[in-house]
Amino acid sequence: MSIKTALVTGGASGLGYEFAVLLAQDSHHLILIDIDSDKLNETKNELETKYSIQVTTLTKDLSIQNISEEIFEEIGNSPIDVLINNAGFGLFGTFAETDWSREAAMLNLHIMTTTHLTKLVLKGMIERKSGKILNMSSLAGFQPGPLMTIYYASKAYILSFSEAIANELKGTGVSVTVLCPGQTKTSFQEVVSEKASENKISFNMGCPKEVAAYGYQQMNKGKVVVVPGAINKIISQLPRVFPRNMAANIVRKIQEKNRED
């Protein structure tokens, strides 16, 4: 039985790290990509010491245009059996005032890099009639998000994109899962805002280990849209109940309150 290889973006910390641990426990060789070289090396040493696997690390800024081609040139002909598009970040503020360079980087990371990496691995997976892809969306992907406009919109793209290609891939042996967690206790909030300590939500805060384990389990079952947590499942259905303008107003009030707390 050949050992499988998994590629994880944002694999040095947070949910990406938890996915890497789960894959290592299942004896996958790993290709971990992250912008933080120090944490990447720590993770590599930890996983190779603890598990009988090989870990390849690539220090890359995944928000750079055409970075996916550069990645695939470096990994060569390594077949990718599992792809987890986990890397992402957020930005808080009104769209008229937020920094475009950060928003452009977010769009490139969430949309272009996620889409291109998925496209690059798909051909080989289809030829082998086997493969699993997990794309990281968010509870934010189900509704418009005032004060985090680009983040919500880009996560909605990932949700729609993943559902569509999952349908296209029926019968091929390749599955696509889109994980849509709510707030999860990672370093995400520190990136969202300079006043991160004023922008943290304690209510319904998910544990990264539990969120990753649930997403990983559902990916292995071939599930498509995965929302961890009973409360989050209810929240994900609210846009179907309330008019979208009301949903946008509710999100804005929540964002404003979190900013004030």
pLDDT digits (tens, 9 = 90+) for 136-183: 999 999 988 899 999 999 999 999 999 999 999 999 999 999 999 987
Q: Which residue bears the tokens 């598990």?
A: 51
- Rounded CA separation 186/123 (Å): 33
pLDDT tens-digit series, residues 8-62? 999 999 999 999 999 999 999 999 999 999 999 999 999 999 999 999 999 999 9
- Any catalytic annotation for residue 39? no
Distance separating the N- and C-terminal Cα atoms of the chain: 54
Domain ranges of the chain: 5-260
Confirm if 86 and 215 have CB atoms less than 8 A apart.
Answer: no
Point out the catalytic residue in the list 17, 44, 51, 151: 151
Catalytic residue among 39, 60, 132, 155: 155
Q: What CATH class has 5-260?
A: alpha beta
Looking at residue 72, its pLDDT comes to: 94
What phi, psi does 147 have (nearest 5°)?
A: 80, -5
User: Helix (H, G, I), strand (E, B), or coil: what is residue 3?
Assistant: coil
> Has 170 been annotated as catalytic?
no
Q: How far apart are the C-alpha atoms of 257 and 98, rounded to whole Å?
A: 19
